[in-house]
A and B are shown apart, each in its own frame.
Chain A
Amino acid sequence: MKKLLNYLPESVRYYGDILLLSIKIIIIISMIFGSVKPMIVYQNF
């Protein structure tokens, strides 16, 4: 996805970047509020 942004004109690339980050944040928030609580395996060692 990030590589695709390089095909955008310089003036809109920044906004594309912010949009992509927002999408990622929405996914993360929806996973967290969807009660996803994974533990890091290496935390147990």
Chain B
Amino acid sequence: MNNLSITSGIFILLLLTGPMLMRTPAAVRRYLFYIINIVLYAVYLNSITNIIGILVFVIPTFLYIKLMKKRSAPAWPMIIIVLGMFFYLNGYIFIFLKDSNLLTFKLLGLSYILFRQLDILIQMNSGLIDKIDIVDYLNYLFSFWTIMAGPIQRFNEFKESIYAELKPLSEKENLKCLHRAANGMIKVLVIGLFFDNIVDNALKHYPPYNGNPLMFLSQVKYFIEIFYSYPLFLYFNFSGYCDVVIAMGKWSGFTLPENFDKPYLARNVIEFWNRWHITLSLWVKDYLFQPLFKWLISGILSKHILKAQYLSIFITFFLVGLWHGATVNFAIFGILQGIGMAASMYYRDTLQRKYGKQWYKEYLNNKKIAFIERFICLHYFSFSLMFFIK
């Protein structure tokens, strides 16, 4: 597979020509978009094995959607098949099958394609999607703006955007889009890279501890560099990319959801995930947390609603951690996020129950407490990221 990067010529060319290509009448736009998406994805797959892999992953879902519409079939059998295929294609299964001769695949944006397929299946099951044709289906799955790393758009939002009659942007709006995209590029290429270099340098020179106190001080110095630089690198790298695609999408008349809202100003882990990778948080809230919570309160935890809530949020964010990769480090990252979410929820509920809602309102307005909470939340997330570094 070729590496599609934010600085690759073809991606920049597509972003810059987007307004010309996409500001065409809706009927033309979707076919033009279809050709671009398919060609771009095929080029980046670069091997017949990968092309077969992706076709096997996405086409059965489309055929099943047709069956769902015709025979009112439930979504869950296909959800299980899609998840199984995802675990295989993404290499999760190889953890259990060492020295396996099974085929391996390198597919661009696989987990984002999975999120979109599940979104369609679940929405179709709930009757929120009426009909879908192959052009809309593949456009949604392989949309070149979001194929690299999101944001995770929902199918109905996507359809609304692709069929909308576009109004020309004013000069001011055009400039605003270009400024945001340029800022995003600078975040990735200049600021993000600056912190990345600090992390790289610290990791390279991190000394092994041999009982020498000077060596210990050197370890502490490099650890502090990594501890504070890696969260900043990750933020500028990912939010910069999101700024570029959201701004250039808007310039082309295509609305993409926001993915960041000053996450390091969050006061607790719940608020943090409402500000960081927002589209992922909303996705897991709708499709993991809520069904799990409903299942728990209708069964084994029917008399313990709060416990069901804490358990659901813990499991949800543990799985978010594992989504990043099937390694022990990502499992620990997930456990820390799960504990952070459940603990934040428990703390909020306890304060409200013990001291009342009016007191809690005053508590929230206290600036000193806000500062302390922000400090703790930032350091907790930074600590959890230490398991995130490869």
User: Would you list 8 pairs from A and B whose C-beta atoms are within 8 A, ordered by A residue?
Assistant: A17-B179, A37-B5, A37-B7, A39-B3, A40-B5, A42-B149, A42-B277, A43-B108
Q: Mark A13-45, 1 if CB is under 8 A from B, else 0.
A: 010011011001101100110001111111111
A36 touches B193 (CB 8 A): yes
Give residues 166-182 of B contacting A (CB, 8 Å).
171, 175, 178-179, 182
| A3 within 8 Å of B (CB atoms) | no
Distance of A41 Cα from B186 Cα, bound (Å): 16
Report how many A-B pairs have Cβ atoms within 8 Å.
71
| Interface, chain A (partner B; CB < 8 A) | 2, 14, 17-18, 20-21, 24-25, 27-28, 31-32, 36-45
* CB pair B6 A40 closer than 8 Å: yes
B331 in the interface (beta carbon within 8 A): no
Annotate B273-291 by CB proximity to A: 1 below 8 A, 0 otherwise: 0000100000000000000
The reply to whether the CB of B324 lies closer than 8 angstroms to some CB of chain A is yes
| A-contacting 9-mer, from B46-54, B67-75, B77-85, B233-241 | B233-241
| B residues 137-193 touching A (CB-CB < 8 Å) | 148-150, 171, 175, 178-179, 182-183, 185-186, 188-190, 192-193
Interface centre among B189, B190, B238 (most CB of A within 10 A): B189
Q: Contacts A31-B189, A40-B188, A45-B111: A24 and B183 contacting too (C-beta < 8 A)?
A: yes
Closest to B4 in A: A43
Give Cα A20–Cα B183 distance, bound, in whole angstroms. Answer: 11
B143 to chain A, nearest CB (A): 15
Question: Across the interface, do A28 and B238 meet the contact criterion of CB distance under 8 Å?
Answer: no
Inter-subunit contact B149/A27 (CB<8 Å): no
Q: Is the CB of B175 within 8 A of A21?
A: yes
* Residue contact B182 to A38, C-beta cutoff 8 Å: no
- 14 new A-B contacts, CB < 8 A, other than A24-B182, A38-B188, A44-B325, are A21-B178, A21-B179, A36-B7, A38-B5, A38-B189, A38-B192, A39-B5, A40-B188, A40-B238, A42-B150, A42-B238, A42-B241, A43-B148, A45-B324
* A28 lies within 8 A of B189 (CB): yes
Alpha-carbon gap, A17 to B188, bound state (A): 22
Tell me how far the C-beta of A31 lies from the nearest C-beta in chain B, rounded to whole angstroms: 4
CB <8 Å contact, B238 and A27: no
Q: With A17-B175, A43-B149 in contact, do A38 and B237 touch (Cβ < 8 Å)?
A: yes
Q: A28 touching B5 by the CB < 8 A rule?
A: no
Q: Collect the chain A residues with CB atoms within 8 Å of residue B182's CB.
A: 21, 24-25, 28
Find out whether the CB atom of A36 lies under 8 angstroms from the CB atom of B189. Answer: yes
Complex: how many Å from CA A8 to CA B257?
A: 33
